[in-house]
A and B are shown apart, each in its own frame.
Chain A
Amino acid sequence: MFPSSFAYHRPASVEEAVALIGANPDAKVLAGGHSLIPAMKLRLAMPEALIDLNRIDALRGISVNGEVTIGAMTTYAQLLDDAGLGGRFTVIHDAADHVGDVQVRARGTLGGSIAHADPASDFTAVILALGARVTAIGPEGERTIEADDLFVDLFTTALRPDELLTRITIPAVAGTVVTAYAKHAHPASGYPVVGIAAMLTMEGSTVSAARIAVTGATSKATRLTAAETALTGQAADAAVIDRAAAAAEGLEINGDAYASEEYRRHLVSVLTGRVIRQAIARAT
């Protein structure tokens, strides 16, 4: 089984890639290829051309300097190997460790996952919880998009067709900040049936700020604002955490043959409570 035929381009720079995207409106950008190539084999996608980013070194790498900048072509394996992503970025290791298998983590990229916006991607929820922003470059130059504005719908982002996602930036946050990610994985595919990511700012035992996001259950990764509100300004005792976990239930949730809407709703609640407890345990 192979894809329908395509012209193959392998630009050496971001500028060259942007020019190729502009000149080939029916092209697809190839990152790790672990979602795109299967889609092409199944004829869900039949691009006229592929623009392979794998030789653009400027799109790879992680720099930690107060804020964290991650090149779009950085693989899950590179995220896992980076010792600088401890502390409040532990959520990145939590999630990367659960993506696919060794072979997938060796090729799959953070930028590819985010731009693809699979409703069951692990990292869409993670970058929402971290309050990240992405940088995109197009013919008119660079712009940044907040994660909160990035995910529009199923497989749809705010990126324009002529734009290339180049990096993900996680801003510095003051104070004691803790994060965690947990998921209920589909037993065959490993994709999250429900995944929850959280970032909490702690003042003693009080949660002074909370960002919590869900993936897998909804048509796009979504902030659990009711759960955030239930936590913020509260001493995080068992009753408050239970209330936040219950607040997570007010969502439009999808069901499928493996997990009904009701079951997913239950999982959202259970995992939200679990992730809050995990994150808080990391503050001590």
Chain B
Amino acid sequence: MTERGDGVEGMPDPVTKQLTTLRVNGETHTVAAEPHHTLLEVLREELGLTGTKHGCELGECGACTVLVDGVPLLSCLTLPAQVRGMEVTTVEGLADGPRLHPLQTAFAEEGAAQCGYCTPGMLMAAKALLDANPQPTLEDMQQAIAGNLCRCTGYTAIYEAIAKAASGGGAGAQPLRRTGAGRASASHT
């Protein structure tokens, strides 16, 4: 258990690391972590998985989004103890060995990143969307990444990349059209 309050006046309280067992990207890890550190710090500092980014750290920007049992969550507001026994997926868990996830390929091909800082969170939010809804409309995509902020470049290329991954990716994928027209043309090809 954590002890508090018996430190020297004016000095930080002593904090004991606790052992926590986490399932991350299909592997079980037992990590020693300070209980007041969030899942974000534990992923980055204890497990070395630095793909998940520190953004605002207050739950506004979505840069720290990971999947927990398939649901996109903000790792900066989640305590590691809260995800014990659950499956955490980070951006490092997207690729299958050397083979990139179709979303990663599509983001690269469509230039859906400028500085790239929001990209891991975008990818995870997009993965959750496509897992639940393989043929999303533009509005579905807007809803799905509403909590992920990109400050460089806007969102059009990101929507195009998600749509490309949804359509099977690869060269020759149709550029994104507005909801109604896009669906109509897709159903005729």
Give chain A's interface residues, CB within 8 Å of chain B.
Answer: 1-8, 10, 30, 33-34, 37-38, 41-42, 48, 50, 52, 54, 77, 100-104, 106-107, 189
Contact = CB atoms under 8 A, between A and B. Distances in A.
A106 B4 contact: no
B127 to A, nearest CB: 12
A130 B84 CA distance: 37
B11 interface: no
Contacts of B148: 101
A2 B74 contact: no
Contacts of A101: 62, 146-148
B79 A102 contact: no
Nearest to A42: B58
Interface centre among A101, A106, A107, A189 (most CB of B within 10 A): A101
Given A102-B125, A103-B62, A8 B35 contact: yes
Interface stretch (B65-73, B100-108, B158-166): B65-73
Nearest to A105: B147
A100 B81 CA distance: 24
A93 to B, nearest CB: 14
A26 to B, nearest CB: 10
A38 B58 contact: yes
B147 A52 contact: no
B72 A52 contact: no
B59 A38 contact: yes
A1 B36 contact: no
A189 B146 CA distance: 11
Contacts of B37: 2
B1 A7 contact: yes
Majority SS at the chain B contact face? loop
A102 B74 contact: no
Contacts of B82: 33, 52, 54
Contacts of B13: 5
* A-B complex: 4 closest residue pairs judged by Cβ atoms: A101-B147, A1-B57, A38-B58, A101-B146
Contacts of A48: 4-5
B15 interface: yes
Given A102-B144, A104-B59, A6 B35 contact: yes
A8 B33 CA distance: 13
Contact of B38 (A37, A102, A189): A37
A2 B38 contact: yes
Contacts of A54: 82
Contact of A8 (B71, B76, B79, B144): B79
B156 interface: no
Given A34-B77, A37-B77, A5 B2 contact: yes
B35 A102 contact: no
Nearest to B75: A103
A44 to B, nearest CB: 11
A106 B72 contact: yes
B77 A38 contact: yes
B34 interface: yes
B78 interface: yes
B60 interface: yes
Contact of A5 (B15, B59, B71, B144): B15
19 contacts: A1-B76, A2-B34, A5-B4, A5-B35, A6-B36, A7-B1, A7-B2, A8-B35, A8-B81, A10-B81, A33-B82, A34-B74, A37-B38, A37-B59, A37-B77, A48-B4, A52-B82, A101-B146, A189-B60
